[in-house]
Chains A and B, each alone.
Chain A
Amino acid sequence: MELMPALLFLQSMLAATWRMATPIIYAAVGEVFTERSGVLNIGLEGIMLIGAFAGYSVAYETGNLVLGLLAALVSGLLSGLIFAIFTVSVKANQIVVGAAFNMIGMGLSAFLYRTIYSQSGRVLSLQPFRPLDIPGLSDIPFLGEVLFRHNIMVYGTVVLVVLAAFVLYRTAFGLSLRSVGEHPKAADTTGINVPATRYVGVLIGAVLAALGGASLTLAYSDQFVEGIVTGRGFIALAVVVFGAWSPWGAFWASLLFGSFYALQLRLQAMPEVLIPYQFLQALPYLATLVVLISLTRRARAPRALGVPYP
């Protein structure tokens, strides 16, 4: 009976991998659009926090998860608009603006949460998205648990990646976006509106980051906690590099990092593992460092990444 526990371990780990990867996939696929347009948004973490809070707050007050998602979307749009105004129109330093967003996201979400929701001292939880078992498929042994018993936000990642790859590689907009990130002047001479294209790239990235944040409060857990994103925004930045700036690359890279999260969770739950949990929690971030240092030479960033135009 050695095999069964090992299989069960693997099954629960793989299922958790996709769940854990979900917020990162949203943020990373969005950032692919932003960076392909030539803008580097390191403020993902902050925008995710804002989205997480906006989603939680509206869903809690209205009792409607879809309204919560909508609120996250709007918060992402607003964040993205402000980010784009500063980086594209004003041409401020993108790193500085991004860092500011991280601080604002952290401070704003914590401040609002404390003033509105933590007076009572109780955790105010909501009813999150429930798993949707796909009829038939969810009963397949092993695979059913791994692939077909997830909530809508998790399934949504696949739809998102397919759509993202289609838009980026099969539409005129995608072609313009990619050219703007590589050689904005060439794009300009063909009549493409470089700033407008970059605005759209930034907005897509910010909206998806906010939705990724909201998936933490509306699907992964059922409440808001200060700093709930815990570095996933930064991991998403690494994922974009590791995934070679492509939607599918970002998807698979997110799953890789999701597996590190899942692994450390499983290991924490095993009494025979005698490693202090703080070390286990650091695993995904350590893995990020190792992976980034050792494996990222193969891809090249968009040539105009981080460079304002004109």
Chain B
Amino acid sequence: MEDYLVRMENIYKSFPGGVQANRGITLEVRPGEIHCLLGENGAGKTVLMSILYGLYKPDSGTIYYKGKKLDIHSTKDAIANRIGMVHQHFMLVPTLTVAENVVLGQYPAWKVINDMDKVHERIRAMSDEFGLDVDPAKIVQDLSVGEQQRVEILKALYHGADLLILDEPTAVLTPQESEHLLKFLRDLANRGLTIIFITHKLEEVMQVSDRVTVLRDGKVVGTVNTSDTNPRELARMMVGREVLMELKKAQTEPGKVIFLVRNLRVKDARGLEVVRGVSFEVREREVLGIAGVSGNGQTELALALAGLIEGEFDEMRLDGQLITKRDLQRLHRLGMAHIPEDRQKMGLILPFSVAENFVLKTYRDEPFARRGFLRFDAIRDYTRSQVSKFSIRVGDIEEEIAHLSGGNQQKVVVARELDRQPRFLLVNQPTRGIDIGATEFVRQQILAERDAGAAILLISADLEEIFALSDRILVMFEGRFMGEVPPDPALIEQVGLMMAGKTVQVSD
């Protein structure tokens, strides 16, 4: 254990239902280094770190920390041992102030809280020292995502963390914010803090880490020095085979306008206008990408276009036909297909079987039904053919779709929507939370659909995805488009600024 701050030895952890998240993982982290934990979703990274942070108890295995065996039974023990964690979903109470969140759980229950002035002062001092720009008096729900993340980091530092764990911290940030965060972390490491950085993004690993441990299916594939490796090798370690790093995108000539909307305005569930008058058109054989940080109105935009919530607009046309009111049946008939943002809540009915999910939109029609009765043979045959055509990994087509992995679930949605050969395909966050293999597959399908003549609207917070698939890119910020750019990788910087709300002149 000589020069290790943490050594997790032979960690096993399984969950009820038989998921084996960690299968004998050994991880060593040196003091003062930034150590990346790289792996696909479901590789066991978050579970491993949750064990270190006291959220889960391992089935077996030992943890050594600062040269001693460490028994952690709760997060309280972790905090007492100066381990801090910034979770992917922030662990902040939205209705409390920053300062209240920082001291939450730190006092005995009967204590009257009368030292908040001192807490505020200390937070301000730390905020200045680390350049975090955090106001202790603000209510957390009024802060932007980036600010909330800085509060999380400050919370860990306030509790005196020597080891800071960050779980996919850049997933919610603009490129500039990410850049800033990575620099900040390097700063912290230089001050002697040890950082474990969970990610599945290769560029980040290369940019920020000293060493990297790759996990796959709950096991360690290997630990390497970042300077001795490259993205291609890391990707191979992560996936277990060669990965196509770049998609082949054929040149196409866009045809006539398939979908257009003028001055669309949409309110969110709270009644606030979150899409504030946007207009665009999508043509045949074209992918129009909408970039932006999540939460800038993309969700509502997609729902309104798909006819799932009300929106106001001056004009909307699909395949030349005027759309005047919310009518899903008609949109469907005119050839709209929708791959929704949240497959588990909208795209699929989780307790239903794979076969049932495949015919969710067509079960009333021949050949799946006749005279009001379902024809199970036809449904099963169809499902089997689709499953093999799209190589979806299922045990049995009658099993609950909830048991499938995220990637395979998404493949079901994509297969179902594309089977109808849509004129207009609305795709929102098609590869979020799925593994590299499935991502590659879904992206290829989208491009194939484009080449076959569909008009495609792609909404994604993943800039790399937007640039890889789109023919034109619109950048969305606070419900408006900041401008249009071609998918030229040289323009990523500008797009990032536009995502943060800056007006940028882009010369074509």
Contact = CB atoms under 8 A, between A and B. Distances in A.
Nearest to A179: B93
A187 B110 contact: no
Given A170-B112, A170-B113, A172-B107, A186 B75 contact: no
A183 B91 contact: yes
B403 to A, nearest CB: 21
Given A182-B94, A185-B91, A176 B76 contact: no
Interface residues of A, number: 19
Interface in B78-134: 79, 85, 87, 90-96, 100-101, 103-114
Nearest to A186: B91
Contacts of A186: 90-93, 101, 104
Interface of B, helix, strand, loop or mixed by DSSP: loop
A133 interface: no
A186 B105 CA distance: 10
Contact of B111 (A171, A178, A188): A171
Given A171-B110, A171-B111, A173-B109, A189 B96 contact: no
A190 B104 contact: yes
B312 to A, nearest CB: 22
A167 to B, nearest CB: 9
A191 B91 contact: no
Given A171-B112, A172-B113, A173-B109, A188 B75 contact: yes
A172 B95 contact: no
B55 interface: yes
B55 A175 contact: no
B74 interface: yes
Contact of B96 (A179, A188, A192): A179
A192 B113 contact: no
Interface string A148-190: 0000000000000000000000111101101100110111111
A171 B96 contact: no
Contacts of B109: 171-173, 176
B94 A183 contact: yes
A183 B101 CA distance: 11
Contacts of A192: 104-105
Contacts of B94: 182-183, 303
A170 to B, nearest CB: 6
Contacts of B75: 188-191
B93 A182 contact: yes
A3 B93 CA distance: 54
A186 B114 CA distance: 23
A130 B90 CA distance: 54
B113 A191 contact: no
B13 to A, nearest CB: 16
Contact of B110 (A173, A175, A189): A173
A244 to B, nearest CB: 12
B115 to A, nearest CB: 11
Interface in B136-188: none
A179 B100 CA distance: 10
Most chain A beta-carbon contacts within 10 A, residue among B53, B103, B105, B107: B105
Contacts of B76: 190-191
Contacts of B87: 189
Contacts of B106: 190-191
Contacts of A187: 93, 104-105
A72 to B, nearest CB: 25
Contact of B113 (A171, A182, A185, A188): A171
Contact of B79 (A179, A191, A303): A191
Contacts of A183: 91-94
Nearest to A184: B93
Contacts of B95: 178, 182
A196 to B, nearest CB: 9
A183 B94 CA distance: 8
A190 B91 CA distance: 9
Contacts of B92: 183, 186
A189 B93 contact: no
A191 to B, nearest CB: 3
Contacts of A170: 112-114
Most chain A beta-carbon contacts within 10 A, residue among B53, B55, B90, B104: B104
Interface in B27-55: 53, 55
A176 B114 CA distance: 15
A179 B106 CA distance: 13
Contacts of A182: 93-96
Given A189-B75, A189-B85, A175 B96 contact: yes
16 contacts: A171-B109, A171-B110, A171-B113, A172-B112, A173-B109, A175-B113, A176-B109, A178-B95, A178-B96, A179-B96, A179-B104, A186-B104, A189-B55, A190-B76, A190-B104, A190-B105
Interface of B: 53, 55, 74-76, 79, 85, 87, 90-96, 100-101, 103-114
Given A171-B109, A191-B105, 10 more contacts: A172-B107, A172-B108, A172-B110, A175-B104, A176-B104, A178-B96, A179-B104, A186-B104, A187-B93, A192-B105
6 pairs of A and B residues whose beta carbons are closest in the complex:
A190-B105, A191-B76, A172-B107, A186-B91, A173-B109, A179-B93
